[in-house]
Amino acid sequence: MKNIVYLDNSSTTKPCETAVKRINEALTLCWGNPSSLHLLGFEAEAKVKEVRQALAGALACRADEIYFNSCGTEGNNTALLGAAHAMHRRGNRIVTTAVEHPSVLETVKRLESEGFEAVYIKPDKFGRISEDAIANAIDEKTILVSIMLVNNESGAVMPVTAARRAIKEKASPALLHCDAVQAFGKIPVNVSELGADMLTLSAHKIHGPKGIGAIYIKKGIHINPLLTGGGQENGLRSGTESVPLIMGLGGALAEMPDPKTQLKAQKELLSYTCERLLGTGLVRINSGPDALPYILNISVPGYRSETLLHFLENQNIFVSSGSACSKGRGSYVLREMGLSREIIDSALRISFSRFNTKDDADALATALVSAAAHLRRVK
Ligand code: PLP
């Protein structure tokens, strides 16, 4: 594809060169089954081990605390179902937020239908969750707390460490799970500093391939496996490991810059983008001032998200509609933030990666002005 402006990196990212190279290497040279006892198996196993170690290094944990799986959705399902079922004798309360990804919210709903009680903490107008609200929600009957590190629509950064403090203060048996799918690679994610017992991530958000993710589970914590069978991944996730995708994840990790250094450059790009977009006189910014600078939620009042998305697409600019509509009701995250119908229906999510430049922001601002000139306003 030629000259595209890709600003939908929170949906997925383009696999980087090293990821593609390593996938190719796995498919052509290293296609053994890591469980096989012969040379081809050992070679594949060694590659898997290398990536496990690299990932453990990135999260500041032990290699045997990393379990590969198929995606962020699987990681969230594994953590929530596995922990709730393993902990049900100690209590039945689950604490989460109203703005988690559907792979958490739908799983918590499923647990509610099994008899667990769930508390969904509400965000403020910028999508932020307060430390007090987290502390108030956790009690001695709470067995599981699941809080994302960065919200995928608003970019709000959540105070996960406050949950760890509250668990301790309330002497709660709760396990703390963190969905770090949108945070990993963009801000430093150190599992012990966060105080997480379990943490989910996904390769396709960091310029790795789709279909591969990982979950961190703190040593000594036992949760029920989602998949049973041959006992791979230390019994937590049966199924032959996808060596090509694991190696692709390894390639993405190898190319991943230091998140802290990159964050500085990204803050500059974000403020330039905001300036350009606000300069059009068409845009309202929905993300908070302290949101992750890789995610910018905006609205263009008077124009429907989907219409704008397709207008931009025709100019080779790719963004996400903030209202991934379910039954025309618009984004539940923006609704929970208390935004009006008009703002929700005209929302767009702009999401960056390290490969975006000021030219992309210029192209977007110019295209939005052109959209306003060509599209009919909704009443
Ligand atoms: N959690 C968050 C916050 C996400 O943004 C996503 C995907 O967009 C997921 C989980 C699911 O990840 P995957 O697409 O790997 O299943």
Give yes or no for residue 146 CB within 6 A of ligand 1.
Answer: no
DSSP state for residue 227 in the 8-state scheme: B
Pocket test for ligand 1, best of 105, 148, 189, 205 (most atoms within 8 A of CB): 205
Q: Hunting for tokens 């006992």 — which residue is that?
A: 231
Give yes or no for residue 93 CB within 6 A of ligand 1.
Answer: no
Instruction: Please give the chain's pLDDT, 379 residues, in tens.
Output: 668 999 999 999 999 999 999 999 999 999 999 999 999 999 999 999 999 999 999 999 999 999 999 999 999 999 999 999 999 999 999 999 999 999 999 999 999 999 999 999 999 999 999 999 999 999 999 999 999 999 999 999 999 999 999 999 999 999 999 999 999 999 999 999 999 999 999 999 999 999 999 999 999 999 999 999 999 999 999 999 999 999 999 999 999 999 999 999 999 999 999 999 999 999 999 999 999 999 999 999 999 999 999 999 999 999 999 644 444 568 999 999 999 999 999 999 999 999 999 999 999 999 999 999 999 999 7
Give the list of residues 6+ apart from residue 183 with CB closer than 8 angstroms, or none. Answer: 148, 149, 150, 157, 189, 292
DSSP state for residue 61 in the 8-state scheme: S
**Parallel, antiparallel or unpaired: strands 93-97 and 142-146:** parallel
Cα 72 to ligand 1 centre (Å) = 5
Q: Which phi and psi angles does 23 have, rounded to 5°?
A: -65, -45
| Tokens representing residue 330 in the block | 């618009």
Q: What is the DSSP string of 111-138?
A: HHHTT-EEEEEPP-TTS---HHHHHHH-
Catalytic residue, from 16, 71, 274, 325: name it. Answer: 325
Annotated catalytic, 178? no
211 and 247 in contact (C-beta within 8 Å)?
A: no
Query: Residue 330 has what pLDDT?
Result: 81
| Tokens representing residue 315 in the block | 């100019």
Q: Round to whole Å and give the CA distance between 150 and 178.
A: 10
Q: How many residues in total does the chain contain?
A: 379
| Tokens representing residue 195 in the block | 């105080």
Give yes or no for residue 182 CB within 6 A of ligand 1.
Answer: yes
pTM for this model (two decimals): 0.97
213 and 74 in contact (C-beta within 8 Å)?
A: yes
Cα 190 to ligand 1 centre (Å) = 19
DSSP state for residue 205 in the 8-state scheme: G
- Closest listed residue to residue 223, CA positions, set 90, 118, 81, 106: 81
Give yes or no for residue 72 CB within 6 A of ligand 1.
Answer: yes
Cα 65 to ligand 1 centre (Å) = 21
Give yes or no for residue 153 CB within 6 A of ligand 1.
Answer: no
| Tokens representing residue 189 in the block | 């994610």
**Parallel, antiparallel or unpaired: strands 142-146 and 117-121:** unpaired
Query: Residue 1 has what pLDDT?
Result: 61
Give the list of residues 6+ apart from residue 134 with CB closer than 8 angstroms, or none. Answer: 95, 121, 145, 147, 159, 162, 163, 166
Give yes or no for residue 71 CB within 6 A of ligand 1.
Answer: yes
